[in-house]
Chain A
């Protein structure tokens, strides 16, 4: 669709605004993997309520919006092996690298952090190679 990039830009601005509120308001970096991971491994125990509220809103607001958007299908694979393997890789990888698309990508690049820029280049590259191999060479995804 031609309007995809407009919706992308509007959605992106909202994501950036969310990060700005979290930073200027609470003095924290809005990184999804850090907020979830900190609850799971206990490193974020001191601020768990704040994290839980953030995650609750992150689940509920899109759910309430679904009836009003034209396309909300996630088009997610039905293959349980792929889902579990990918979930484990994303879980371990984001915590070992200390950031994901929101933390390293949005929050890191916007402050010209060298770590954020390098991480983003690497995970986009690794994702690109994965899609190229599994879609075009092996035809798995």
Chain B
């Protein structure tokens, strides 16, 4: 059951990313291009995605997960420098080529060598992230 639901969720996610145009990097960079030919599509994608999710979060108050267990607790609301530094780095990479983790995985099958190159670099970055996080802590805590 758990795997069937993961299959459905992954498939719906991929279909949504392709249909919405989020695998097209010109649309994503167009959204970020506030001073150029601005493309508002991403706002509709975000808005559309938030509606079912907001309903789902409301339902978590009165139910438990279908497969059992419990829902994730609200994260520690502390903002922290990791959230800020990480988000700045992510935004820079996102702007550079117009890809984020979901769409790049979704276009592995048809995105060509460029997309594969990005996926590999992203995977290397994810493997390095724990070391980067610790180095960041050490440097800032030393002050």
Q: Mark A residues whose CB is within 8 Å of B.
A: 4-30, 32-33, 36-37, 40-41, 49-51, 53-63, 65-66, 69, 71-78, 80, 82-98, 100-102, 104-107, 109-111, 113-115, 118-119, 122-132, 134-136, 141
Contacts and interface: CB of A to CB of B under 8 A. Distances in A.
Residue of B57, B90, B124, B128 with most chain A CB atoms under a 10 A cut-off: B90
B78 to A, nearest CB: 8
Given A26-B66, A59-B105, A89 B5 contact: no
A12 B95 CA distance: 20
Given A17-B52, A83-B118, A94 B126 contact: yes
From DSSP, what is the main secondary structure of chain A's interface residues?
Answer: helix
A43 B120 CA distance: 19
Contacts of A27: 64-65, 67-72
Given A76-B111, A91-B123, A115 B75 contact: yes
29 contacts: A4-B41, A8-B48, A9-B44, A11-B45, A12-B44, A16-B48, A21-B8, A23-B56, A26-B67, A32-B102, A40-B126, A55-B105, A57-B13, A61-B10, A74-B115, A76-B98, A78-B114, A87-B124, A88-B128, A90-B125, A91-B129, A97-B84, A101-B100, A106-B49, A110-B53, A111-B57, A115-B83, A135-B29, A141-B97
Given A49-B3, A92-B126, A126-B92, A76 B115 contact: yes
Contact of A58 (B14, B75, B94): B14
Given A76-B112, A110-B54, A129-B95, A11 B127 contact: no
B65 A89 contact: no
B126 A20 contact: no
Given A24-B59, A26-B6, A87-B118, A11 B18 contact: yes
A62 B46 contact: no
A8 B12 contact: no
A91 B45 contact: no
Given A19-B49, A106-B50, A141-B96, A90 B87 contact: no
Contacts of A18: 8-13, 16
Contacts of B139: none
B9 to A, nearest CB: 4
Given A57-B9, A110-B54, A135-B33, 18 more contacts: A8-B48, A12-B48, A14-B19, A23-B60, A36-B101, A40-B126, A74-B25, A74-B110, A87-B124, A94-B126, A95-B125, A96-B82, A97-B84, A127-B32, A127-B95, A130-B95, A130-B96, A131-B33
